[in-house]
Amino acid sequence: MKYTQLGRTGLKVSRLVLGTMNFGPQTDEADSHAIMDAALDAGINFFDTANVYGWGENKGRTESIIGNWFAQGGERRDKVVLATKVYANMAANPDAWPNHDKLSALNIRRAVDASLKRLRTDYIDVYQFHHIDRTTPFEEIWQAIDVLVQQGKILYVGSSNFPGYKIAQANEIAARRGGTIGLVSEQCLYNLAERRAEMEVIPAAREYGLGVIPWSPLHGGLLGGVLKKEVQGGRRASGRAAEALADPAVRAQIQSYEDLLDKHGIEPGEAALAWLLTRPGVTGPIVGPRTAEQLESALRASELELSDELLTSLDEIFPGPGPSPEAFAW
């Protein structure tokens, strides 16, 4: 496994990030533990979760599964760079009381303590804002974070789903306050089929020294050989992938993508992950395996070298927006 610095920090993380969103809703606890063991054995040390994972009446369940895994010992917690997120309403009845969501100082304090309890640890390596909060000023957010850092409950802070201007605003206010390192990572939707992050988000992240952590690297399965699986009678597309394939132009684009990779003898999902690892500013994509086999495929992708010819062909099928502001100015 290859490692890199997380943005401008001294923290070393694996170039694949283990996403845990499926742990609980789709993968039971025993299989989730087995996947985490296999990931750690393969050298993946960066695990990502969120307080809301588990969803609905089971929100928080994923963090609890991870906490139970840490409790098994074997230096599991010491070996892992743990990232979780705050923003969603975690109250049993979200409509009953205010102040149980978003990024107020009160909710940040409440949420981090609840996550620590579920995760069965006394600190979180990277505490991430799951969404922008349009009502809470960053002065208040950073004041709350400073307290948590001083208490030793969190070490670094990252963002998720932030536009470029909010990354800039957050870090400029952090710099003015002094003593606050600010955001060190941004977790955003980014893959071959969805490259809008290249216009503003990734340039802002690189300018301010944030490591970029792409989520949905296979775009909901669209880039994972979905048409080939249809022909073979395998798992059919659903969600984002199914919606996209309803467009004949997108279906033709995906067919060209799969035909190209078939010619090169490369699995589509592995090529999509390997492509992200070539992108400037990318720390590592989040892979969210439901099974051990899916983890093995991601590990193969981390060792895959894409030729310049293939990278050019992928750009022709999935052209990026181009640099900002030229991409939208003329």
Phi, psi angle pair for 122, to nearest 5°: -105, 5
Question: Is 296 within 8 Å of 174 (Cβ atoms)?
Answer: no
What are the beta bridge partners of residue 158? 128
Q: Which of 75, 69, 15, 101 is nearest to 299 (CA)?
A: 15
Question: Do β-strands 46-48 and 286-287 pair in parallel, antiparallel, or remain unpaired?
Answer: unpaired
> In angstroms, how far is the first alpha carbon of the chain from the final one?
42
Tokens linked to 89: 């309403």
Catalytic site includes residue 3 = no
Q: How many CB atoms lie within 10 A of CB 112?
A: 23
Residue 53 sits at the vertex; the CA angle it makes with 185 and 107, to the nearest 5 degrees, is 70
**H-helix segments, 208-291:** 226-231, 239-245, 248-264, 268-276
Token duo for residue 194: 């969805």
Q: Which of 53, 87, 127, 257 is catalytic?
A: 53
- Torsional class of 75: left (φ above 0), alpha (ψ -120 to 50), beta (otherwise): left
CA angle, residues 27, 114, 59, in degrees to nearest 5: 35
Asked if 146 and 179 count as a contact pair (C-beta separation under 8 A), the reply is yes
Q: Which residues are catalytic?
A: 53
